[in-house]
Amino acid sequence: MTSAEAIAPRKLSWVTGAREAVPLLGGYIPVAISFGLIAAQAGFNVWEAGAVSVLVYAGASQFLFVAMVASGAPLWLVVVMSLLINARHVVYGPNIAQWLPHSRWWPWLMHGLTDQIFALSHSRLPLLPENERLGWFTGAMLVAWFSWIGGTLVGVVAGAELTQRWPLLGEVMPFALPALFLVLLAPRFKSRPWSLALAAILLKLSGLPNAAIPIAAACGALLFLAVDANTRKGVNHG
C-alpha cells in the first residue's frame, strides 16, 4: 500500500464522522440557543458565553455554571459542582477506550466526548477499521462542538427575539437534547435490560422521579453486566 492509499481512508473517515454527527445538530443547536439566551439574561456577554461553550462544553454544567456565577457563588463551589455533574465521563472514557488506537491526540479530543458522541461512538467505533477511528471521532466531535458554540452565540445575540416571535420555541428547545438521546437509545429497547431504561424514563416524565431514580440505577448495573457478559462471550468464542 502506498502512502497516498494509506492517507485516503483517514481523510474519508473525517468526512464520514462529520456526516454521521449531523443528526445530532437537531438536539445540540436548540439547547445551545437556550443556554445562550439564559447566559445573556444572567449578564454574560457574547465573548463570555462563547468562552463557556468552548472551554466547558457540557450542557447541564454550563446551565449550572451560569446560574451559580450569577448568584455570586464562590468559584471553588462552581468548579466542584461542575465536576460532580460531569463525573459520568469517568465511565464513558473506559467504555470506548478499548476501540481507540494509540494517538497523542486523544487527551485533546476527549474534550468533545459528550453524552451523544459517546452513544454514537459506542455503536460506530467497533464497526470501523482501526486506522479510521481517530479520523471518524475527530470529524464527529468537531461537528457537534462547533454546532454547540454556534448555537450559543445565536442564543446570546438573538435568543430573546426568537422566543418573543415564536413563544413555543422557548418551551421546545430545552427538550431537544433529551429527545435526541432517547432516539439514540430507542433501537436498544427491544432487550429486557434496556426496557428498564425506558420504564425509568416514562416514570420521570410521569412526575415520579423518586421511583425512576432507583430503577435507572438498577438498569445501569444490569446493562453493564449484560454488556460485560457479551464481551466476554465474544472473546471466548474468538
**CB 158 within 8 Å of CB 152:** no
Read off the C-alpha cell for 139: 470529524
Residues 6+ apart with CB under 8 A from 202: none
Q: What is the pLDDT of residues 7-56, one digit of tens each?
A: 445 568 889 999 999 988 887 888 888 888 888 888 899 999 999 999 99
- CA 8 remoteness from chain centre: 28
Question: Of residues 207 and 44, which shows the higher confidence score?
Answer: 44
Element (H, E) at 230: helix 209-237
Q: What is the 3-state secondary structure (H, E, C) of 5-52?
A: HHHHHHHHHHHHHHHHHHHHHHHHHHHHHHHHHHHHHCCCCHHHHHHH
Mean pLDDT of 184-207: 59
- CA 79 to chain centroid, in Å, comes to 20
CA distance 73 to 208: 30
Q: Environment class of residue 142 by beta-carbon count within 10 Å: exposed (0-12), middle (13-18) or buried (19+)? A: middle
User: Residue 6's pLDDT band (boundaries 50, 70, 90)?
Assistant: very low
| Domain positions in the chain | 3-177, 191-238
Question: Mutual orientation of helices 59-70 and 46-55 as an angle, nearest 10°?
Answer: 140
Bigger pLDDT: 204 or 165? Answer: 165
